[in-house]
Structure 1
């Protein structure tokens, strides 16, 4: 099992797709990392040698991206700042509502959670 930046990569996937399991790396940046580490894109994570793993680690250190813990901390601090200045986006984050202008009368289930039935009034 290959472990990079505190993330266990899945075993039998091609290395480009396995690298996307690291927070902050998409498919395009994964392919750039593989190219800079001089590794074949067809290789699977099970077939990586120790030299290739070391080359991947070095390529990840050299790349100028915020990854995993640093990126999560950066995003968390931005959301905390929005909450503290009490702006509209901060209020929406606080109330677990969609932030970017989506409607909430219907849909928005992934943000608001599952439906909670409200009992009707008796007459």
Structure 2
């Protein structure tokens, strides 16, 4: 097992796929990091030499990943809420922000509905 940016990565996965397991690194960033480190993106991490793995670690340290990335996203959402924008309001109400319909879909984004308890007479 290889540990990069606080994330344990499986050595049998290809370098490009393995790097995407780190929060904040997507397809494009993983490709760019592999290119800069001169690491073949389609080779498993177990075939890489120690200097190549160290180069990957160094390049990933320059990116905003894991905690720093999540903190930046949270601060962006907080800023939207504070300025009272439409997107901030949608975030505050736990509704979709990007124009999706909410009448029938958005089940994972909408809060659960609380059923009202009706007291019976008598």
Aligned residues: 118
Structure 1 gaps of 5+ residues are none
Structure 2 gaps of 5+ residues are none
1:5 aligns to 2:5 (yes or no):
yes
Instruction: Please report how far the alpha carbon of residue 102 of structure 1 lies from its aligned counterpart in structure 2 after TM superposition.
Output: 1.4
CA distance in 2, matches of 1:31, 1:9: 17
1:49 aligns to 2:83 (yes or no):
no
The residue correspondences of 1:40-79 to structure 2 (distance < 5 A) are 40-62=40-62, 65-79=63-77
- CA RMSD across the alignment: 2.3
CA distance in 2, matches of 1:96, 1:11: 38
CA distance in 1, matches of 2:39, 2:79: 41
In structure 2, the CA distance between the partners of 1:89 and 1:42, relative to structure 1 (3 Å rule), is closer
Q: Note the alpha carbon deviations across 1:45-93, whole angstroms, 9 max, x for none.
A: 233332221111122245xx43222221111011112222333222211
In structure 2, the CA distance between the partners of 1:49 and 1:61, relative to structure 1 (3 Å rule), is same
The residue correspondences of 1:23-34 to structure 2 (distance < 5 A) are 23-34=23-34
* 3-state SS of paired residue (1:104): coil
Output the TM-score relative to the length of structure 2.
Answer: 0.79
Poorly superposed stretches of 4+, deviation over 4 Å:
115-119
Output the TM-score relative to the length of structure 1.
Answer: 0.79
Tell me if structure 1 keeps the 8 A contact 2:77–2:88: yes
Tell me if structure 1 keeps the 8 A contact 2:5–2:61: no
